Amino acid sequence: MSGRIVTIVLLVATVLASVLLATRLGAVRIPGNHQGYEPAQPIAFSHRLHAGELGVQCLYCHSGAERSRHAGIPAASTCMNCHKTVTAPFGAVRAEDDLATKEGRKPALIVSSELQKLYDAMAIDPQTMLAAPDRQPRSIAWTRIHQVPDFVYFDHRGHVAAGVTCQQCHGPIETMERVRQMETLEMGWCVNCHRQVNQTGVAGRQVYASIDCVTCHY
């Protein structure tokens, strides 16, 4: 009798657990292919706006791609090169200007909520662009998207030098509001390209892309 009760309790618990877990199954990334991974970032930085609309060169921010293994995420100081003067989207600034003219006052400084996060990280008061002594500067913790496994070494330098465009691996990044992993970044995908370019060349130039294991694995 008691055995049957235990069985029923266990079965109910199992079903309940499966239902609870099933809803979270979609959020689980298992190791391996992360194609389509598109996490939210601490600041809603738009590549569509910067790289697409404004036409900022990729290497302006990701300067490491040219001279290092890692392309790198730009330091906050790089953002500040522009965002010392640009504190909000153009539309918001113009609306405030119009409103101020209508009300006959000096336009106020508009600071977008996303850029405020940058100023907070730098511990800067956007009104004065001076250090805010009561705040602590803190690095911005971006969520990494493109990532090859631990036992793979990818070097940006050689690819940039050979003339491979950023889009070839990262997709049409200049159209992305939020960055998404377009390609699989799996070994077959790498090797196919390495094989192909040995025939076709890159940007009209002949190249040699090795498919030795130690090209990437060491």
Q: Binding residues for other proteins, per CB under 8 A?
A: 28-32, 34, 39, 64, 66-70, 72-78, 121-122, 137-144, 147, 149-151, 153, 155, 157-158, 160-162, 208, 210, 212-215, 217-218
Between 157 and 180, name the residue whose CB sits nearer to other proteins.
Answer: 157
> Least distance (Å) from other proteins to the CB of residue 51?
17
**Cβ at position 161, least distance to other proteins in Å:** 5
The residue among 5 and 30 lying less far from other proteins, judged by its C-beta, is: 30
Encoded tokens for 139: 């690095």
Least distance from C-beta 38 to other proteins, angstroms? Answer: 13
Select 52 or 72, whichever has its Cβ closest to other proteins.
72
Q: Looking at beta carbons only, is 93 or 157 nearer to other proteins?
A: 157
Identify the CA nearest to 66 among candidates 164, 202, 168, 160.
160
Exposed, middle or buried by CB within 10 Å (0-12, 13-18, 19+), for 189? Answer: middle
Residue for token pair 């000096």: 106
Least CB distance from residue 143 to other proteins, whole Å? 6
Residue 63: strand, helix, or coil: coil
* Closest distance of CB 8 from other proteins, Å: 27
One-letter amino acid identity for 111? V
d(C-alpha 40, C-alpha 76), whole Å:
18
Q: Which of 71, 59, 38, 34 is nearest to 155 (CA)?
A: 71
Distance between CA atoms of residues 23 and 21, nearest Å: 5
Which CB, 77 or 128, lies closer to other proteins?
77
Residue 134 C-beta: closest distance to other proteins, Å: 17
Q: Using the 8-state DSSP alphabet, how is residue 172 labeled? A: S
Q: Which has the closest alpha carbon to 122: 84, 151, 178?
A: 84
Q: In terms of CB distance, is 96 or 155 closer to other proteins?
A: 155
